Amino acid sequence: MTDATYTVAVRALCEFTARQGDLDLRFTPSPSAQQGIEGHRTVAARRGGAYQAELALSGEFRHLRVRGRADGYDPEQQRLEEVKTFKGDLDRLPANHRELHWAQARVYGWLLCQERGLASIDLSLVYFEIGRQQEVVLTETHSATALRAFFEALCERFLAWADQEIAHRTRRDQTLTELRFLHAQFRQGQRALAESVYKAARLGRCLMAQAPTGIGKTLGTLFPLLKACPVERLDRIFFLTAKGSGSALALAAIGTVRAHAPGLALRSLELVAREKACEHPDKACHGQSCPLARGFYDRLPAARQAAVTHAALGRDALREIALAHQICPYYLGQELARWSDVIVGDYNHFYDSSALLHALTLANQWRVAVLVDEAHNLIERGRAMHSAALAQSALAAIRPFAPAALRKPMARLSRAWNALTRDQTEPYQTHDAPPPSLLAALQALTGDISERLADDPEGVDPALLRFHFDALHFSRLADSFGEHSLFDVSQDGDSVLCIRNVIPAPFLAPRHAAARTTVLFSATFSPREFYADMLGLPEDTGWIDVEAPFDGAQLSVRIAAHVSTRYHRREASLAPIARLMAQQYRAQPGNYLAFFSSHDYLARAAQAMAQEHPDIGQWVQARRMSATQNEAFLARFTEDGRGIGFAVLGGQMAEGIDLPGARLIGAFIATLGLPPYNPVNEAMRERMDAAFGRGQGHDYTYLYPGIRKVVQAAGRVIRAPSDRGCVHLIDDRFGRPEVLALLPRWWDVGGGRGAARPATPIEEDITP
């Protein structure tokens, strides 16, 4: 027993205590968040003037505080409503889902009876079908006495867990208060970074940190937030990464902290994608198909209890616990996100439209700190999360084999599609917005497919299922279509409709607002305004540019101003590039990386090098290399190795790889990395001109993303204070002032930055 109060959301209390039976994901796809909000508004608008929507309620039982928002209450009829939006046939709703909904309604019913002194109340489950805009209302009448007994029974079942969590939280905060930094002193620049992160948490602000490799960014951002947890009452830290290598570094840092402080009470969890955690990818997620879904909620309590006794829950440990209790590892991980202190996962776990961590943060009113590793990647990842494409060939491929009931709505969609593209004469064309007729046909088709899925989830053709999910995603993005995105049609052998996000800021900004603090860090965060604009950061976001632990003497940076890598001059560039690489190699034999703008350019350069200098070893990054092939490519970079690896700028070898010391002593970068000049990028440029001011669109679309890739690639060379190496920037445009200004301050560029001659704008040089 404890004097501390534990606060739990109504939904969390009910899910913890009232769920039972199978894990069952066969019910029709849920509406989008926006459709759900609009559905609730529609229901509220149909009620009388006295109707009270979004009613905040709370109550206590012993040292447990329960809070939440009831969907609506009609004081004239003394009826409280719990509204659930859905698509399809309500009869297909699993019984355990409905029981959970009733549990929530009954808890809210007691909280309202207690607050207003009611002797009894009517409780209604209002199921609102989004497509038909129809309600199904199920009503029960309960006495306050019965509701109180129900509420207290749930609380009694939860209290043992709550006491355990209170004890853990108390111990966690105590041990974090006592935690000391792991080393006798901070690395150069690491203290300044850590102090800024801690201050951002104290002030409740976002922070952008440009911090170079070699200062210990992972520990320099994680440690201060751990220290801030007890001071700022932080419930969770989310460490988000763009790649698996980033997750591995974060988990290793947490392990190092734990090893330094053996008594530290800290639960860490690694979240992975479902396809990486699924034990039975050939089975559907319901009890009649998958043995790990059968009785999932009945076995979950024991698995959950076993899991929280483990401080570190990486994917292997989580799998072992899940299989020991015969439940799904992926969904056990989803459950344990509710009870972990530090959660390591991909960007999409917080920033995607249906992100688990964001939903839990809002539902439980958590105070969270978010760390975004290599945050420059969040622009493209944010765009991808909020973009969708549909190919007409995919629709044509499924029509001959579709069930008879689906052929009519497919034909309707095909007619709407053809009407849109009938007069299109160019391969690429943008439109103001997706046509309402097309969206209506698409939604009708997805509704019919949803009903068939509910009837026979395993009998649906995989191609039809893929098209269905793509269409659902497209429809949901259409609901939020605006100036941040493009709607375009590409016709080059196939007709492809695309909602293409250009500016992810409107989608990302609410996620930043949901956190107590968000710290975004990267070695390439310049110019600051570009990233702040694109990532939707608030105006009071802090900024720190950490000094590099390196000096110009470590890295020789030379500009090959006599070479042009523009598209129409690439053939002429091959011989001088090969000559330059050979000269550098012969002067200092060792391992080098050579970066080019495309696989085609790379192959031609590698061929020229082999013909002119056959004695210099080389290995080439091929298209779509497997993980094993990537490892073999990197394995060539040994301490005593000799040769040149040819790679694509912006690819897997240009970022996130670590080849310290003699494993890599130099890089050749034969491109500015500018995205190609094409109709899509030009449409994006125009959209960003409109958003950020004329002229900004070019830099935001071409220059800044290109130079970021260059700096990231060059950053593979110097990884530690003892490293020495060289970088050759091969193109005359590297000498221009606007380009030099974007290169790291510590670089000593040959000839000096001030020596660059004025030149024509870079946009004139962009070619396909």
- Does the pLDDT value for residue 139 go beyond 80? yes
Residue 328 near residue 481, CB atoms below 8 Å: no
- Of all helices (H) and strands (E), which one includes residue 630? helix 627-635
Query: 164 in a domain, yes or no?
Result: no
Instruction: Count the neighbouring beta carbons within 10 Å of the beta carbon of residue 241.
Output: 24
Residue 420 near residue 435, CB atoms below 8 Å: yes
For position 457, what pLDDT does the model report?
60
- Does the pLDDT value for residue 539 go beyond 80? yes
Question: What six digits make up the tokens of 416?
Answer: 């709407």
Q: Are residues 152 and 50 in the same domain?
A: yes
**DSSP per-residue string spanning 76-120:** TTTEEEEEEEE-S-GGGS-HHHHHHHHHHHHHHHHHHHHHHT-SE
Q: Are residues 264 and 364 in the same domain?
A: yes
Average pLDDT over residues 377-382: 96
Q: What is the pLDDT of residues 307-318, one digit of tens each?
A: 999 999 999 999
Average pLDDT over residues 178-196: 90
Q: Are residues 698 and 573 in the same domain?
A: yes
Average pLDDT over residues 326-332: 96
For position 418, what pLDDT does the model report?
96
Q: Report in angstroms the alpha-carbon separations of 416 from 55, 397, 481, 622.
A: 43, 17, 19, 41
Tell me the CATH number at 394: 1.10.275
Percentage of the chain surpassing pLDDT 90? 80
| Length of the chain (residues) | 768
Q: Report in angstroms the alpha-carbon separations of 383 from 157, 269, 298, 504.
A: 44, 27, 40, 6
Query: 522 in a domain, yes or no?
Result: yes
Pair type for strands 236-241 and 555-560? unpaired
Q: What is the pLDDT of residues 104-114, one digit of tens each?
A: 999 999 999 99
Q: Are residues 517 and 422 in the same domain?
A: no
What pTM value is reported for the model? Answer: 0.92
Query: 254 in a domain, yes or no?
Result: yes
For position 30, what pLDDT does the model report?
64
Q: Report in angstroms the alpha-carbon separations of 334 from 205, 311, 322, 446, 480.
A: 28, 16, 12, 27, 27
Q: What is the pLDDT of residues 123-132, one digit of tens each?
A: 999 999 887 8
Q: Of 115, 141, 159, which residue constitutes the final position of a domain?
A: 159
Q: Are residues 576 and 604 in the same domain?
A: yes
Average pLDDT over residues 469-473: 93
For position 3, what pLDDT does the model report?
63
Query: 169 in a domain, yes or no?
Result: no
Q: Are residues 631 and 757 in the same domain?
A: yes
Which backbone phi and psi does 57 adopt, to 5 degrees? -135, 150
The number of distinct structural domains making up the chain is 4
For position 754, what pLDDT does the model report?
34
Query: 112 in a domain, yes or no?
Result: yes
Q: Are residues 264 and 377 in the same domain?
A: yes
- Does the pLDDT value for residue 673 go beyond 70? yes
Range of the domain at 580: 552-765
For position 652, what pLDDT does the model report?
86
Tell me the CATH number at 267: 3.40.50.300
Mean pLDDT check: name the lowest of 29-33, 594-598, 712-716. Answer: 29-33
* Cα-trace Rg, the chain: 29
Q: Of 517, 545, 573, which residue constitutes the final position of a domain?
A: 545
Query: 175 in a domain, yes or no?
Result: no
Q: What is the pLDDT of residues 545-560, one digit of tens each?
A: 998 888 888 999 999 9
If pLDDT is split at 50, 70 and 90, which confidence band does 753 have? very low
Q: Are residues 16 and 112 in the same domain?
A: yes
- Of all helices (H) and strands (E), which one includes residue 676? none
Q: How far is CA 492 from the centre of its chain?
A: 31
Mapping DSSP onto H, E and C, the string for 707-756 reads HHHHHHHHCCCCCCCCCCEEEEEECHHHHCHHHHCCCCCCCEECCCHHHC
Instruction: Choose between 694 and 717: higher pLDDT.
Output: 717
Q: Are residues 638 and 757 in the same domain?
A: yes
If pLDDT is split at 50, 70 and 90, which confidence band does 93 have? confident
Q: Are residues 517 and 457 in the same domain?
A: no
Query: 411 in a domain, yes or no?
Result: yes
Tell me the CATH number at 18: 3.90.320.10
For position 693, what pLDDT does the model report?
86
If pLDDT is split at 50, 70 and 90, which confidence band does 286 have? confident
- Does the pLDDT value for residue 763 go beyond 60? no
If pLDDT is split at 50, 70 and 90, which confidence band does 760 have? very low
Q: Are residues 240 and 262 in the same domain?
A: yes
- Does the pLDDT value for residue 764 go beyond 70? no
Q: Of 115, 144, 159, which residue constitutes the final position of a domain?
A: 159
Q: What is the mean pLDDT of the chain?
A: 92
Percentage of the chain surpassing pLDDT 70? 95
Instruction: Count the neighbouring beta carbons within 10 Å of the beta carbon of residue 588.
Output: 13
Average pLDDT over residues 602-610: 96
Mean pLDDT check: name the lowest of 228-232, 272-276, 668-672. Answer: 272-276
Q: Are residues 53 and 116 in the same domain?
A: yes
For position 232, what pLDDT does the model report?
97
Query: 303 in a domain, yes or no?
Result: no
Average pLDDT over residues 597-620: 95
